[in-house]
Structure 1
Amino acid sequence: MQFPIALVVSIVLHSAMLLVLVSSMEFVTPKHTPQPMQAEVVNAVSVDKTALAQQIKKLEQQKMAKQQAEEQRVAELERRARAAEQKRRANEQNIEKLSKQRKQAEAEARAAKERQIKEAERAKKLKQEVEKQEAAKRRAQEQARKAAEEAKKAEAEAKRKAEALKKAEEERKRKEREALEKAEQQRLLEQQMKAEMEARNAQRQQYIMSERDKYVALIRSAIQSNLFTDPSLAGTSCKLNIKLANNGFVTQVKTLSGHPQTCQEAERAVYKTNQMPVSEDPEVTAQLRDINLTVAPEK
């Protein structure tokens, strides 16, 4: 860290003044002495103060001289910096001026070169155009000769193509008739297969629903066999929703509606039965996994 020169000089001067002041002071134990001795002490102190004032003045003058010298040095540095900046700006202006002149000269040279190139291209195109016209004239004559020959060949070729086209059209119509016949046969076959499939599906669905109804009746019968019958519950019923696993085990029983006590006994009968009869046919069993049925006490 650097301190300003003025601050350092100020610290040095004040330190010197303090040292002189301390060194000039006398610590004398008071004594009963004659009056003439006191007069000498007063004179000595007066002389020391005068010397101190002179010393301080001298130090102040030295401080001012150093400060003026420092200010002059700083002013000189600033003057040199301004001169250097002016010189740098002048150099930049000269460089910019020379750059503009160089660019202008290059642009003029490019423009002149482009004009030469355009003139050369124009002359080349004119020569090529003349050559093209002469070549076109020769080609036209040759084409006229060939056109006469080609006209004869074209007439013969047109006749041959007309005959070939007639045969091709007849062949196309024949294939089209065959394709239509095959398509109709395929359509009839698919229609027949679809009808048979629908009939088999209908029979299958009828069988599945018939089997479902049979197993629902078996399940109801199994529940009824475990249902507690109380004469007081005669005429009541309970509608249940029963969920079964694929092997017939009861996974959930839920009351949908009915007499509370009857429903309580019906749920107990379901859980007591535990495993319900199910079909070995997976499609029939799938219809039995979630069923609703009504249970009523037997009279």
Structure 2
Amino acid sequence: MIYTITLNPSVDYIVRLDDLKTGLVNTVDEETKIAGGKGVNVTKVLKRLGHDSTALGFVGGFTGQFIEQSLKDESLHPHFIHVEGDTRINIKLKNGEETEINGLSPMISEGNVKKLLQQLSQTVAGDIVVMAGSVPTSIDQNIYSNILKSLPDGVQAIVDTKGKALEEAVKAKPFLVKPNHHELGDLFGVEITSVKDAVEYGKKVQQMGAMNVIVSMAGDGAVLITSNEILFGNVPVGKVQNSVGAGDSVVGGFLSKYIETENLKEAFQSGIAAGSASAFSTGFCTAEEVQELRKQIRVQTYEEMGGRGI
């Protein structure tokens, strides 16, 4: 069984207008409201690629009801814990460039966290838990680390977060972490500008405890560091239409293929393909798009590249 955890979900209110006039009344040209949050996005991608998962986390108020119903409408399986207050609304304003305005998270109580840990105590060996997204300010930043330590033996965990939450989670030895190059740089107070940099600092993350590390670098490709080898994969050719959810699609694409093959290299290739397919479309990737883009992605070892930077 696969479980995704979204501690900080949102209703994403996506607004498009051609000419924004600040200080005046504007009417949008197009708007969309969708259930958002990184773990929620992973659940959506997994479904599109043929795998069911259970979506865990916290929701509240009318916005939380919208998220639950939206997932049910897509034949997904939400099992959220209800909290007081409303789930946040994130505004994504697009008018040539994209501006994001993220809302405030509801208060998550200690009792709410205990309920989540109780849910996860029911997992068994062979299950996979994906922890993705930011941690609300009302929760200890060690939450992902604490979850990892509490999981039964044999449960594999994937973590996609940033900052203090990522730093602490890595020490608890997850199966996989997936920072992008900005998040990896922030972790060490440096700027990641090349594959060489991504390899150097990705290896540091592995030394801290993570079994496997994927560093996504947008249009410059991605790096996978395992216990046996370092792999690089290029990004296929296409026009980026939407960056929202691309990183979550990398996780979903990787996991879908890993479940099927237990082959890290093939899973890595599918992860890049899924992330690219989502970026090249206005929604999330489809299985057909992922399969087609895989043909353009060459995965090679760092040694085959000559250990060079890009």
Please report the TM-score for the alignment, with normalisation by the length of structure 2.
0.15
Please report the TM-score for the alignment, with normalisation by the length of structure 1.
0.16
More strand by share: 2
Q: Which has the larger radius of gyration?
A: 1
